[in-house]
């Protein structure tokens, strides 16, 4: 039986707190790692600042770069790009994979399901418009995304047959309940987070079917969503901040790698 949001968040938050970001043993093992980071803006670090590639908003503060800095792998290729969709990953990013690749991280699916347009509807239109946009996105997530993910994951496995692959999920964007000054209404926030559940559960299911690990962003960011006192997601660009990458995504990714 699946855990409730609160119970699941509490358990994984405790687990992540006990996982060191880097140890001497991990550093030694990483000397043989050839790591390729694939995905969209949540992987590239849009909103996290200190960009090494402005066009793709690849940030030195993003979790792939932070993991590489902490573990010193034999090679690190940062291919993730802000705005990427599944076709973009297939066309522009998977070419970085080969038989020598030993570790892959992948965050994708949000843009394919209409993340940007949905958030605009929820931020600037009525509750009914927000819910309609989420319904349209949900229909795509249920009916089309699974097959597209299956195809992508099969391509990743074929191009990197020996790699450990960690699929990274998306966080809840908003704290639910109460007032959120300058933010969405409580009803809209709940609806957006329910959409996040559908997207993440779909991604996690297809990752499991492919034999890939899944790092869940929801418990990783628990207590630090938009509207909290210490938010690790920007209310203006709706992306993780540098602190979000360092304190949420990096430990979640590290735990998935070390726990595999």
Active-site residues: which are they?
41, 239
CA distances from 194 to 29, 119, 183 (A): 39, 13, 17
Cα separation, 117 vs 134, in Å, equals: 10
DSSP lists the bridge partners of residue 53 as: 58
- The contacts found for 225-231 with CB under 8 angstroms, 24 or more apart, are 225/171, 225/172, 225/173, 225/174, 225/175, 226/173, 226/174, 226/175, 226/180, 226/183, 227/174, 227/175, 227/178, 227/180, 227/183, 227/189, 228/175
Residue 107: alpha-carbon gap to chain centroid? 5
DSSP string for 121-138: HHHHS-HHHHHHHHHHHH
């Amino acid at each position: 039986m699946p855990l409730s949001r609160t119970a699941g968040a509490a358990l994984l938050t405790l687990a992540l707190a006990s996982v060191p970001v880097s140890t001497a043993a991990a550093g030694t093992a990483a000397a043989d790692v050839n790591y390729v980071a694939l995905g969209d803006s949540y992987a590239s670090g849009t909103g996290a600042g200190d960009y090494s590639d402005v066009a793709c908003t690849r940030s030195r503060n993003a979790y792939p770069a932070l993991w590489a800095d902490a573990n010193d792998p034999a090679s690190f290729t940062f291919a993730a790009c802000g705005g990427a969709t599944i076709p973009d990953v297939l066309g522009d990013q998977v070419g970085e994979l080969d038989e020598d690749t030993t570790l892959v991280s992948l965050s994708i699916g949000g843009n394919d399901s209409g993340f940007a347009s949905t958030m605009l509807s929820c931020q600037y239109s009525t509750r009914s418009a927000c819910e309609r946009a989420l319904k349209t996105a949900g229909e795509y997530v249920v009916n089309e995304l699974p097959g597209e993910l299956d195809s992508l994951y099969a391509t990743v496995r074929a191009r990197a047959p020996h790699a450990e692959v960690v699929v990274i999920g998306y966080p809840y964007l908003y704290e639910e309940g109460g007032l959120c000054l300058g933010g969405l209404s409580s009803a809209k926030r709940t609806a957006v987070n329910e959409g996040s559940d559908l997207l993440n559960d779909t991604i996690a299911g297809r990752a499991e079917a492919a034999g890939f690990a899944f790092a869940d962003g929801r418990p990783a960011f628990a207590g630090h969503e938009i509207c909290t006192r210490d938010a690790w997601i920007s209310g203006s660009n709706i992306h993780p901040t540098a602190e979000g990458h360092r304190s949420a995504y990096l430990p979640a990714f590290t735990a998935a790698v070390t726990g595999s």
